[in-house]
Amino acid sequence: MKVIQLSALIAGAAISVSSYGFELTSNDIQEGQKMPQTFEFSGFGCQGENVSPQLAWSDVPTGTKSFAITAYDPDAPTGSGWWHWVSFNIPAKVTTLKQGADMKALGAIELKSDYGVTGFGGACPPKGHGMHRYQFTVWALPVEKLNLDNNVSAAIVGYTLNSMAIDKARLTATYNR
């Protein structure tokens, strides 16, 4: 019995180590820190510049053929969170996005955010609602293209990504007004 337990521990450690290698970083936003107003939405009572932050990822898992990026606020007072950005079919050669990235120029597909506009939609929590978390996630995918178009819901993309991703890396920044 001890041999089986040790084998399970070793297998679990190997899985954990590979998961921790894939990393998402940014020159613009930091883990657990409040984002600058540059990344606030322009509309819905918010007056930011509504540009996406610079993002970079490293230690890409073997077998990655494309990426997806999502930005999600689980603290939005909707009962279902708020999708700020969903983009997929990002070529595997891309490992950096500049601030205000043009996803179409990369050949990627972007969905409408929950604001109803295509592309990145910055932070805009209700005034006085407290600090919100903004989860920027890059997903390593085993296919070059998802068999989805820009009319699919963010929930379907989220389901698809969770069902097939090789790995994901997340950076969570915060924002309040």
Angle at 42 between CA 75 and CA 120, to 5 degrees: 65
Residue 56 belongs to a domain: yes
pLDDT recorded at residue 32: 97
% of the chain residues with pLDDT over 70:
89
Asked whether the whole model's pTM tops 0.85, one would answer yes
Residue 76 belongs to a domain: yes
Residue 139 belongs to a domain: yes
Residue 46 belongs to a domain: yes
Q: How far is CA 40 from CA 51, 58, 176, in A?
A: 8, 26, 10
pLDDT recorded at residue 20: 61
Residue 117 belongs to a domain: yes
pLDDT recorded at residue 152: 97
- Helix (H), strand (E), coil (C) string for the chain: CHHHHHHHHHHHHHHHHHHHHCEEECCCCCCCCECCHHHECEECCEECCCCCCCEEEECCCCCCCEEEEEEEECCCCCCCCEEEEEEEEEECCCCEECCCCCCHHHCCEECECCCCCECCCCECCCCCCCCEEEEEEEEEECCCCCCCCCCCCHHHHHHHHHHHCCEEEEEEEEECC
Residue 5 pLDDT exceeds 50: no
% of the chain residues with pLDDT over 90:
89
Residue 17 belongs to a domain: no
Please, which residues bridge with residue 152 across strands? none
Residue 45 belongs to a domain: yes
Distance between CA atoms of 175 and 177, rounded to whole angstroms? 7
Residue 7 belongs to a domain: no
pLDDT digits (tens, 9 = 90+) for 11-30: 333 332 335 699 999 999 99
pLDDT recorded at residue 95: 98
Looking at the 3D structure of the chain, how many domains does it have?
1
State the CATH number of the domain containing residue 124: 3.90.280.10
pLDDT digits (tens, 9 = 90+) for 44-96: 999 999 999 999 999 999 999 999 999 999 999 999 999 999 999 999 999 99
pLDDT recorded at residue 7: 35
Find the domain containing 140 and state its range: 23-175
